[in-house]
Amino acid sequence: MFVMITEAQLTEVVKKVKSETKQRKFTQAVELIINFKDIDVKKGFALNEIVQLPKTSSPATVCVMATGEMSLKAKKANADAVIGTEELDKFATNKREARKFINKYDFFLADTKVMPLVGKTLGQFLGPRGKMPTPVPFDAPIESFLQRFRSSVKVRTRASLSIACKIGNETMEDADLAINAHAVISAIEKKLPNGEKNIKKIMIKTTMGKPVKQVQEVKKKHA
């Protein structure tokens, strides 16, 4: 049986990252980097996962594409943006504005009724960025969807042997950042062809800092 790095070990890595990071005039993000091994990228290896973080500092931005009742509920739940069919139609004729709009938000949710229009007007921009909206049935609790996505991160790679994602910022507690890192590692490990055996290296860094490697590599557990 293979044993992955523990939350306690990740906490030590986070401490080292913070101690070696120079103070900047802005709050730096803390990022997790995972390098893979023994995976044939030529066979179309790809990851496109949404992972909910147990601990959050700054919530992810979520845009809801909907009309009618769902639109009203999304506005009441303080979605970062709510757009309808009129706005979508406008984006169809203004590619520059469409790109600008898409880059502003981390996640998109869409009423199943407007999904065909979303695909027609913004699909060419959302698809390559891995930002296609999550469909929401008309009677689903949009508030619950917003709550979940606000505390989530997207982990995405295509034909590459590494991923990187934000797990919080430097103002967070070391243990909380470690909990988030562990949640992402666990989620990704489940999606790899041979699980933990495909993980070569785990590193953590701040926005402007150097990556700090895990202290303990994956080791074989002896009975």
Looking at residue 37, its pLDDT comes to 94
Fold of 2-55+156-220: Ribulose 1,5 Bisphosphate Carboxylase/Oxygenase (3.30.190)
* List of long-range contacts for 36-39, beta carbons under 8 Å, 24+ apart: 36/161, 36/162, 36/192, 36/198, 36/199, 36/200, 37/161, 37/198, 37/199, 37/200, 38/194, 38/197, 38/198, 39/161, 39/192, 39/193, 39/198
166-180 per-residue burial string, b: 16 or more CB within 10 A, e: under 16: bbbbbebebebbbbb
Structure-block tokens of residue 77: 């739940």
The domain made up of 62-149 is a member of CATH 3.40.50.790? yes
Q: How crowded is residue 46: how many other Cβ atoms within 10 Å of its Cβ?
A: 12
Looking at residue 3, its pLDDT comes to 54
What gap in Å lies between CA 201 and CA 96, rounded to an integer?
Answer: 39
Looking at residue 186, its pLDDT comes to 95
Domain residues of the chain, as ranges?
Answer: 2-55+156-220, 62-149
Question: What parts of the chain have a pLDDT lower than 50?
Answer: 1-2, 216-223
What gap in Å lies between CA 7 and CA 77, rounded to an integer?
Answer: 33
Looking at residue 217, its pLDDT comes to 46
Looking at residue 220, its pLDDT comes to 39
* Residue 17: exposure state from Cβ atoms within 10 A (0-12, 13-18, ≥19): buried
What gap in Å lies between CA 74 and CA 203, rounded to an integer?
Answer: 37
Name the strand (E) or helix (H) holding 50: strand 46-52
